Copies of this chain bind each other. A is one copy, B any other.
Amino acid sequence: MKKVAIVGAGQSRYGEFPDKGIKELFFEAYKDMTASVDKGIDSKMIEASYIGNLGSGGFQLGNMSALVSEYCGLPHIHTMRIENACASGGYALVAAIMDVLSGTHKVAIAGGVEKMTDVSGSKQKYWLGVSGDTEYERLAGTTFSGLYALIAQRHMHEFGTKREHLSMVAVKNHKNGAQNPKAQFQREITLEQALKGPIVAAPLNLFDCCSTTDGASAVLVCDADIAKQFTDTPIYVGGFGTASDYLAIHDRVSTVTLEGTRRASERAYKMAGLTPKDIQLAEVHDCFTIAELLAYEDLGFCEKGKAGPFIEEGHTQIGGDKPVNASGGLKSKGHPIGSTGTGQAYEMFNQLRGTVEKPTRQVKNAEIGLVHNVGGSGGTVSVTIMRR
């Protein structure tokens, strides 16, 4: 459609920062975003902000989008906190796109921030457990690793997916993340290490699970008509789609399909006039290794049940025909919940413009990419297609 453009993107370092709160973290992303605008931006032009956030560490729960915007010197704008669990950032991006499409504002920030590492263990379990169906899942004793473990068990049972296939996701994403100076874990792991991590929820071990992370990200969304004021190389929104699903896994038609991903991507492809084959690279929601395998299938990159062979054949490596999570993904780059969706957009912005910091991590000559953000165990999903 090319009616909405992205003209800047920024991200804080992802990691553990005991000396930084949500204001400082978001400001780091905001500064990085404004610095990325080739021809500069006067902050007076920024009329709106949409901030994804789940819990702010239980610290600043109300009005936090106004607070972080104020801290960036934007005290009187239109601002909203969007919360859709781990998909909060992806939906913040969609909300900013809709705002610009509606003609209400010309220039808006889509961003996200999360401060997770200050939260104590028991509180963390609580905050992370609140995104499934509380009455039927959390209070029955499930955890998120437990829910994704159920999905993994069933996928292995139905399709013969191997333990090694899960670990291949971790190895690939750590390899990419090792080249990303903003990633939480900048080190490679071997397949042997990945296979032998301590069990978290069988079959998922430590190396199948993403971490808790502090971080923030922001992208500058504007009306495509004025994009060239900011840069000669804007990235355009090709299409977007969202879909929710039953929160509780037991309510769903299938345990091994995220219906939200299937429907959200179908809507995004339709709006963009594209098919899965047209997508040259993607950032997908790999909160657990099994989640990346599901994404391959539900986004239509391979047939249902064939994600194991798909990763094994190397398609999704940098250098393969459909690189996935060149940033390191949630697994290695980190998963600061509210920031994850717009962090993916930050990566895609740079990949499509050819401005990734390290050439070893740059996917060459890509024109069309997709970002995919999942809330909870699939209760909410957003997909946005970005193109040169």
Contact = CB atoms under 8 A, between A and B. Distances in A.
Interface of A: 21, 54-55, 59-63, 65-67, 69-70, 75-86, 91, 95, 98-99, 101-104, 127, 130-135, 242-247, 251, 259-260, 263, 375-376, 379-380
Question: How many copies of this protein are present in the complex?
Answer: 2
A263 B62 contact: no
Nearest to A262: B76
A72 to B, nearest CB: 12
Nearest to A100: B102
Contact of A82 (B21, B82, B130, B131): B82
A78 B130 contact: no
Contact of A66 (B66, B75, B84): B84
A149 B63 CA distance: 20
A129 to B, nearest CB: 9
Given A62-B54, A102-B102, A76 B247 contact: no
Contacts of A135: 21, 60
Given A54-B61, A83-B81, A102-B101, A375 B244 contact: no
Given A84-B65, A102-B102, A77 B131 contact: no
A134 B59 contact: yes
A243 B66 CA distance: 9
A91 B80 contact: yes
Given A69-B244, A243-B76, A61 B130 contact: yes
A134 B84 contact: no
B95 A104 contact: no
Given A76-B259, A95-B80, A95-B95, A60 B245 contact: no
B130 A380 contact: no
